[in-house]
Structure 1
């Protein structure tokens, strides 16, 4: 911008300001048109906007020019009136989401350039310096105003997003997966998959601080997270990761003391209620396994969950263990082996078979169920599964 000697304090300064104001009012339409053309020429992101958003940007630019003319009309060097920045509010919230603060500054810069290039034409004779100085003051104040507007929008959006996040976490824990959950997830832009849910104790701090630290850790680790504090429990939804255990280890320090349980992996957020249910049930039952690793998978706690009344765990054990063995010699072999304290010889004697036959059957049981009868925790899970399977097959008439 060319520097000229400032002349607003001259005897004819007020008259010059009035003449310049009239010139500016007559030129507002052409200034807005020129600003739009310059943005289209200079700003690639502006050309990429939809026609509707481009129209809104034009209205904001035009409103900014009009606000400047009104401000200039009453401005003087002593009073330093505050610019009216309400023209930023003419844009809908959707536009503020799609245009960044830096891009808003680009718009202001283009408008300033257009006005500056026409100072000699717009200013009344002798008012060039007066207009230049006013433009400098006004654009500086408007730049600060734009930052304030975006800061307020970010604060409001952050509070709203936090509320949606809490609603999603609560809905998944309750198993209330409906159209509301889909809408909330869409509003947050959540598209990550696959998904796992983590459950652990919340640290002793304000919930807002816990969630903020967790989000920060997720961003730095490249992990998509949604989280909620429910009483003393911290629920975290993790999306778009190749390894649930690796992602959990990244977030582990943000949980309070005690177990952290990883729910089973599911395809997307809409099916995450199953993972949330398993993780929460696992957290409740984890006290029954004091030496459990941290983190621990919910499926590694099936036996404890089943004993704690988790119907999903009971059904899973029956389906994955009892059903494949039922009606075959493998079930009798497993039951006898467990009842005999995992003694191979005692099992063989009771079944009237060779010990190698028992070994072969135990190997087949491992292949069919994924549990190894000769290993302590696996044997425990197998025994619980056998008991649950027998109870499931009991004659209803035998029940009280």
Structure 2
């Protein structure tokens, strides 16, 4: 027996473990405010750990070479959930209070010639317990990281596909540490190239979004990188700061939604824009998904079609037939101001005024090629709806 203690001394220590565990928990209750506030089930976990620790110390005295198994058994007495409920710093405090009780009481159970040996062995054992607690939390962090990665991938996949993976989205986000309740925005583009893996790309996303103070999810689908984020005072400015995370090619920013429950809607809007942006070679980078409503509509996006009608056609109709007739005539005349004025039997300045009103009403300028294209498509769709 390497400890050099007599068996009757070890037995006295073993018989006192229950009493010492009770004293340790009582000391924790006196000294640690946060411990007093723990729920009853978590306090019982701590009691189990203390009892296991004292029993492992007894086994250590009998077989000190079996250090890894003995110290590992201490934390096996509590469920893995304890590592999420009690922090490493708090565990250090619990171990310290337990050791202080042991240092006071254990030497009293040995004879004068063995008290020093008991104290020395306790010092060695407490060092190994500290290493064991660090291993527990390192393993828990590693497992948590892997679990978070899998959940994040599932959530992003559900947002991309518009499917449900079980729990409500706010619960899934909360499990990933998401704090913001809105607004929420999505940005989509190509995965960065240069030989970097998808894992490297996602790590870069999380590093940058943390620095920007954003809550964010990210995923790689095929060659597309999708980022969903919240917590930005100015989502457009935040999205602009995320542009370096993407590879070459277009980048599309979704409209902002006020609630996290709209995460799927904004994600699909960004991806719809990314599919359709090829039809607008001169699109800015990044480009808003709403700026691509014509291309998205032509690509078969029904949500974009409805949004285009709501943003352009219906406001024009509500503003009166005069504006609708003026802009229609202007477009049919190839954007010729004088020809439009003659067709409508009005002065050219009247046409100019009405065209400015069109811009004020729906946000699209008939004199701008892009605006003219959007207006022509919106009018066409609106008329088809009315006749349908």
Same-fold status (TM-score > 0.5): yes
Contact residue 154 and residue 165 of structure 2 kept, 8 A: no
Match of 1:135 in 2: 122
Contact residue 348 and residue 355 of structure 1 kept, 8 A: yes
Match of 2:36 in 1: 47
Q: Which of 169, 176, 182 lines up with 1:188 in the alignment?
A: 176
Contact residue 71 and residue 132 of structure 2 kept, 8 A: no
Unaligned runs of 5+ in 1: 1-7, 396-400
Contact residue 71 and residue 128 of structure 2 kept, 8 A: no
Match of 1:152 in 2: 139
Aligned ranges 1:202-213 → 2 under 5 Å: 202-204=191-193, 205-213=196-204
Contact residue 345 and residue 355 of structure 1 kept, 8 A: yes
Match of 1:33 in 2: 22
Unaligned runs of 5+ in 2: none
Contact residue 340 and residue 347 of structure 1 kept, 8 A: yes
User: Which whole-Å deviations, capped at 9, do the CAs of 1:341-391 have from their partners, x for residues lacking one?
Assistant: 322222111111122322222222122212222233222211221122223
Change (3 A) 1:228 1:113: same
Match of 1:242 in 2: 233
Residues 1:383 and 2:370 are matched in the alignment: no
Match of 1:330 in 2: 323
Contact residue 177 and residue 273 of structure 1 kept, 8 A: no
Match of 1:351 in 2: 344
More deviation, 331-340/118-127: 118-127
Contact residue 177 and residue 270 of structure 1 kept, 8 A: no
More deviation, 377-386/184-193: 184-193
How many Å separate the matches in 1 of 2:220 and 2:176? 18
Per the normalisation by structure 2, the TM-score is: 0.92
State the secondary structure of the residue aligned to 2:188.
strand
How many Å separate the matches in 1 of 2:310 and 2:67? 77
Residues 1:56 and 2:45 are matched in the alignment: yes
Shift of 1:179: 4.5
Shift of 1:48: 2.8
Match of 2:362 in 1: 369
State the secondary structure of the residue aligned to 2:81.
helix
Shift of 1:114: 1.1
How many Å separate the matches in 1 of 2:385 and 2:235? 33
* RMSD over equivalenced CA pairs, Å: 2.1
Contact residue 107 and residue 118 of structure 2 kept, 8 A: no
Contact residue 32 and residue 65 of structure 1 kept, 8 A: yes
Per the normalisation by structure 1, the TM-score is: 0.89
More deviation, 45-54/79-88: 79-88
Match of 1:294 in 2: 285
Residues 1:172 and 2:159 are matched in the alignment: yes
Match of 2:90 in 1: 103
Number of aligned positions between the proteins: 381
Shift of 1:334: 0.8
Contact residue 185 and residue 254 of structure 2 kept, 8 A: yes
